[in-house]
Amino acid sequence: MTLTTRRVRLARKPEHAIETTDFLIDEVVLDEPQEGQLLLRPLYLSLDPYLLSFMRSWSGPQRDWAEGIISSRYIAQVLASKAEGFVEGDLVIGDGHWQDLEVRSAKGLKLVAASSLSPSLHLGVIGAPGVTAWAGVTDVLQPAQG
């Protein structure tokens, strides 16, 4: 069985401000998950400032950036699992493509613990950006009374 999904990618390198014409939506065909893989539905995508430099250079930590395929941190729901430790319905955090569905290795993904907090907060205030801000204020800025 194969699935077709939509993917957001770069149409060109953004110049100054990002514009909608810098992006396009294409369709990609996904194979069924194999052993050690998951079928995921991204729910929340990060749009952190560092991504702009990747978009302007079409290079980043994933090889796909050279083709204009955008990857960032995301929170995704597991729709199907062939990986130990992950079941349908789990929420995970990791790096992935900006697309409706994705089949990828479970390696590098972490489960998001059930909580009354919105899962999206793991991409912000209780995730890496929040920890970075906290460290900057407490360790670098070191505010004091007065």
Do the bridges between strand 2-10 and strand 110-111 make them parallel or antiparallel, or are there none, so unpaired? unpaired
Query: What is the distance between the alpha carbons of residues 86 and 121, in angstroms, rounded to a whole number?
Result: 21
Q: Specify the pLDDT at position 1.
A: 67
pTM score: 0.86
Instruction: Decide if pLDDT at 72 tops 90.
Output: yes
What's residue 146's pLDDT?
85
